[in-house]
Structure 1
Amino acid sequence: MKKLLALPFLTLSLHLPSAFAEPATTDSVKQLMETTGSTQMSRQIVQQMIPMLKKLVPDAPDDFWDSFMKEINPEQINALVIPIYQKYLNEEDVQKINAFYETPTGQKLLKVQPKIARESMQAGQAWGREIAQKVLSEYEKSQRQATPPPQDNLLE
């Protein structure tokens, strides 16, 4: 009986430190985003949006787009993303992550991570093409086996 009562207290005690952890501050998350290049990605996203938006309104003159672009602020994306970081990371987490990125190993990771991501995406695409080819080949094979070849009618 004592063991049964001890289990909830043990479980609760394991979760208490994270339950009372200080939420990540906006400033520390901004620092993390800046360090990891997330802030720069926000700017790139805005730049990539423009050609797509221009396709939606192809007749709009350049002064329309100039005016519209002045209203778009990449910081708006950051403001949307910061609470997501805060949802999953507390202040201690963010401080430790920021400290890691200040180390030579963290700096190396930041430097090579875009290459890793690009090559991983290429590998995944190649793998996906192989899977698609295999699916098509297997499906065609199953269709050939399911459909008997035409028989010449010898009785005619």
Structure 2
Amino acid sequence: MRKWIGIAAGVGLALGVAGQAVAAQPSEQQVRQLFEVMHMSQMFSQMNSQMAGVMGQAVPCVPASYWQGFIDANGSQELLGRMVPIYQSHFTADDVAGLLKFYQSPLGQKVITQMPLTMAEGMKVGQQWGRERGQAMIQQLQQKGTLDAQGRCPASPAASAPKPVSKSGH
């Protein structure tokens, strides 16, 4: 009996070690290579330009050009460095190797170039849908009397009743 337990433990240990080898963490170099293939620095630059425009409108007394340097080359490298451990914790070395193979392919490169555009278009569609859906739901609530014509909660009897004055005069 002990012999079988020992063999079972040995097989379990061997399988566990093999499983750990398959799920090895990607190296920093491997993750950084993925970032390069995915053009992450260029994405940061595009995000920076968009942010500069938004901040220029939000804070009109500061020129938009001021915000353009928010994610400069050093900032981009710092941000990528902070992202490496995140990728290492969510992807195995084999995952990153597969992603590298995909993103180096023509289809992967198309995904990289087209994804920002499709996401932006999808966000516009989602915002429009959200406005339409919200308006329809508000109309339903107005028809039921849950909301008034201005889309607010009708005054409850307790809210419209005068508040009693305390005896202390406050």
TM-score, length-normalised on structure 1? Answer: 0.63
Cross-structure match for 2:76: 74
Residue 121 of structure 1: aligned partner: 123
Question: Structure 1: which 5+ runs fail to align?
Answer: 1-8, 148-156
Give the distance between the partners of 2:96 and 2:85, measured in 1 at CA. Answer: 13
Partner of 1:89: 91
Equivalent residue in structure 2 for 1:41, among 35, 40, 43: 43
Equivalent of 1:23, from 22, 25, 31? 25
Residue 5 of structure 1 is matched in structure 2 by none
The question of whether the paired residues in 1 share the 8 Å contact of 2:25 and 2:88 is answered with yes
Query: Which residue in the other structure is 1:103 paired with?
Result: 105
Which ranges of 4 or more aligned residues in structure 1 deviate by more than 3 Å? 43-53, 68-72, 144-147
Q: What is the SS of the residue equivalent to 2:145? A: helix
The answer to whether the 8 Å contact 2:31/2:88 transfers is yes
Greater relative CO (CA pairs within 8 A, separation 6+): 1
Residues 59-116 of structure 1: CA distance to partner in whole angstroms, max 9, x if unpaired? 8xx9x99xx9889622111112111111100111101111111222222222322222
Percentage of pairs with the same residue: 28
Question: For 1:107, what is the secondary structure of its paired residue?
Answer: helix
What's the CA shift for 1:18? 5.5
Output one character per residue of 1:25-58: Cα deviation in whole Å (capped at 9) or x when no partner: 11221121222232223334455556749x77x6
Q: Report the CA distance shift for 1:83/1:113 in structure 2 as closer, same or farther (over 3 A).
A: same
Residue 73 of structure 1: SS of its match in structure 2?
helix
| Contact 2:103–2:109, Cα closer than 8 Å, also in 1 | yes
The CA RMSD measured in Å over matched residues stands at 4.1
CA separation in 1, counterparts of 2:71 and 2:87? 27
**Corresponding letter in the other structure for 1:119:** E
Q: Give the corresponding residue for 1:153.
A: none
SS of the equivalent of 2:75 reads coil
Which runs of 5 or more structure 2 residues have no equivalent in the other structure? 1-10, 149-153, 155-170
The count of aligned residue pairs is 136
Distance 2:106 2:87 in 1: 24
Aligned mates of 1:107, 1:101 — CA distance in 2: 6
Letter in 2 for 1:17: G
Normalising by the residue count of structure 2, what TM-score does the alignment of the two structures yield?
0.58
